[in-house]
Amino acid sequence: MTPSDSMPAPLDAEYFRTRLLDWFDHHGRSQLPWQQERTPYRVWVSEIMLQQTQVATVIDYFQRFMARFPDVESLAAAELDEVLHLWTGLGYYARARNLHRAARCVVEAYGGHFPVENVEALSALPGIGRSTAGAIIAQATGQRAPILDGNVKRVLSRLHGVGGWPGRPAVERRLWQLAEHYTPHWRCADFTQAMMDMGATLCTRRRPACLLCPFVDDCVAHRAGEETRYPESKPKKTTPLRHTLMLMLIDEEGRVLLEQRPASGLWGGLWGLPQFDDETQLRDWLDSHAPGSRFGERRQPFVHAFTHFRLEITPLTAHLSRGSAGVAEGQHWYDPLQPASLGLAAPVKALLDAQTTLL
DNA sequence: AATCCGGGGAA
DNA sequence: TTCCCAGGATT
C-alpha cells in the first residue's frame, strides 16, 4: 500500500504550522529549566528524564542533576552509583545507566561534543532512539528533526483518525510519515515543543479540551465525537493457558509428599507437589521413586491465574501401600493434621486443605 | 518486525 | 487495581 492510496490527505503543512505556532506563542511552555541555556547536554539529560515521565515530576530531578553534573565531563567521570542515587524515585533506572554510559561514550569518542549533526550517530548512543534523537536535535540546534512521542502520537492519530494501536508497525509508520509531513525547517524547536505541549495540556488522553484547540474544525476524531478512541490501546493479550499434573502421593498415615522447588523461578523456594507435564512422566517417576505405590485417581482440574499466564492444574493421587518411603533431601512428608510451617504455593495449599477435609 | 522491559503516577 | 506514559533495547 502506498501512502497516497486510501489514506486521508493530511492538512496543508504550512496551514498546520502557522496555526500550531500561533497557539504555542500564546499557550506553549517556554520557561522550563531545560529551555534556558539550551546546550545539547542539558537538552539530552532532560529528554532522557522526560521519557515516560511527566514534566512536573522531572523538574526537581533535573535541577539537582545539573547542580551535581553541570557538564558531560563531570557526568562521565562520576561513579554509576552516584548517578543512580540522583535518579532514585524517577523510575526506569536503565535510563540512568544508559545516560552514564552515553556520557562516557561522548567524552571518549567525540571529545565531549554531542554528535547533534546527524541522527544516526546520536541514536547510536545508549538510551537515545529515533524520537529522542529528533527531540535533542530540534531543541538543541533548531535543525529540522521530527519526533514521535506519546503526545505527538495522540495528537496526530486524533487529527487524522489513525486507527490501530501505535505499537503496530504499520500504524507507527503512518504516524512518522505525518510527523515528517508537518515538521518545518523554521522554528523547529518551537514546533516540536508545541506538538508536545498540545498533547500534554490540550489533547490529553482523557477529557481533551477540544474547544480550545486550534484544530477543532480539522480534527477527524473530534468531528466524529470520538476523541478518546484514539490512539487505540494495546490489545489485551489473552494470557496463555498451560497445563500441569500435580501428584499427591499419600502414605498409610495420610501424609502427603512435598518437594522444595528451585530457589529461582516460579514459586521459587516454596514447597510444592511433584509436577509433571503428562501422565507418562508421572508413572515413570512413581516407578523409580515409590515402587510400592498404587495409582489413585485423577481429580477435577482447576485453573490458577498468574500475571503472564494461566495454569490448569490436574491433581492426581497415588498411595503408598507399605509404610512411608524415606525422606530424601528437599522432600517432606506433610501431615495435614499437624502441618509444619512451610512456604506453600497457593494452589498447593488449596489442595492440601482440601485433602484435610477428606480425612 | 515483534516482543520484552521498566517504575511511578493517575484514575 | 489497572492502565499507560516526553521509548529503547533485544531478539
Q: Residue A197 has which C-alpha cell?
A: 505541549
Q: Indicate whether A354 and A247 sit together in one domain.
A: yes
Whether nucleic acid strand C comes within 7 Å of the CB of A53, the answer is yes
Which pLDDT score is estimated for A61? 93
CATH number of the domain enclosing A160: 1.10.1670.10
Which pLDDT score is estimated for A290? 86
Whether nucleic acid strand C comes within 7 Å of the CB of A154, the answer is yes
Q: Indicate whether A157 and A14 sit together in one domain.
A: yes
Nearest nucleotide by C1' from A134 CA? C6
Q: Indicate whether A24 and A150 sit together in one domain.
A: yes
Q: Indicate whether A24 and A44 sit together in one domain.
A: no
Which pLDDT score is estimated for A25? 96
CATH number of the domain enclosing A288: 3.90.79.10
Q: Indicate whether A39 and A123 sit together in one domain.
A: yes
Q: How many structural domains comprise chain A?
A: 3
Residue A28 CA and nucleotide B11 C1' are separated, in Å, by: 26
Tell me how far CA of residue A312 lies from CA of A48, A137, A317, A344, in angstroms.
Answer: 42, 52, 16, 18
Q: Which residues contact A74 (CB under 8 A, 6 or more apart)?
A: A68
Domain boundary among A236, A253, A278: A236
Top-confidence range, A63-72, A80-89, A255-264 = A63-72
Whether nucleic acid strand C comes within 7 Å of the CB of A201, the answer is no
In this structure, the number of other CB atoms found within 10 A of the CB of residue A41 comes to 25
Nearest nucleotide by C1' from A170 CA? B1
Supply the DSSP symbol for A202. I
Per the structure, the complete domain to which residue A302 belongs is given by 241-358
Which pLDDT score is estimated for A23? 96
Q: Indicate whether A314 and A174 sit together in one domain.
A: no
Active-site residue, from A47, A108, A120, A259: A47
* Beta strands at A241-250 and A310-320: parallel, antiparallel or unpaired: parallel
Mean local confidence (pLDDT), A7-24? 92
Q: Indicate whether A226 and A163 sit together in one domain.
A: yes
Instruction: Decide if A180 is catalytic.
Output: no
Which pLDDT score is estimated for A356? 83
Q: Is the pLDDT of residue A307 over 70?
A: no
Q: Indicate whether A191 and A138 sit together in one domain.
A: no
Q: Indicate whether A75 and A154 sit together in one domain.
A: no
In sequence order, what are the beta bridge partners of A231? none
Q: pLDDT for A129-141, tens place per residue?
A: 999 999 999 999 9
Nearest to A315 by CA among A282, A271, A280: A282
**Which bases of strand B sit closer than 7 A to a protein CB?**
1-4, 6-11
Distance between CA atoms of residues A88 and A85, nearest Å: 5
Q: pLDDT for A232-278, tens place per residue?
A: 988 766 666 778 899 999 998 889 999 988 766 677 777 889 988 88
Please name the residue whose C-alpha is nearest to the C1' of nucleotide C5: A52
Residue A156 CA and nucleotide C11 C1' are separated, in Å, by: 30
Residue A234 CA and nucleotide B2 C1' are separated, in Å, by: 14
CB < 7 A contacts with chain B (nucleic strand): A 52-54, 56-57, 89-94, 167-169, 206
Whether nucleic acid strand C comes within 7 Å of the CB of A139, the answer is no
**Which bases of strand C sit closer than 7 A to a protein CB?**
3-9
CATH number of the domain enclosing A96: 1.10.340.30
Which pLDDT score is estimated for A309? 66
Which pLDDT score is estimated for A5? 38
Domain boundary among A236, A263, A288: A236
Q: How confident is the model at residue A2 (pLDDT cuts 50, 70, 90)?
A: very low
Q: Indicate whether A174 and A312 sit together in one domain.
A: no
Residue A151 CA and nucleotide C5 C1' are separated, in Å, by: 9
Which pLDDT score is estimated for A298? 92
Which pLDDT score is estimated for A306? 65
Nearest nucleotide by C1' from A102 CA? C8
Q: Indicate whether A136 and A267 sit together in one domain.
A: no
Residue A311 CA and nucleotide B2 C1' are separated, in Å, by: 25
Domain boundary among A145, A162, A194: A145
Q: Indicate whether A259 and A216 sit together in one domain.
A: no
Residue A228 CA and nucleotide C5 C1' are separated, in Å, by: 16
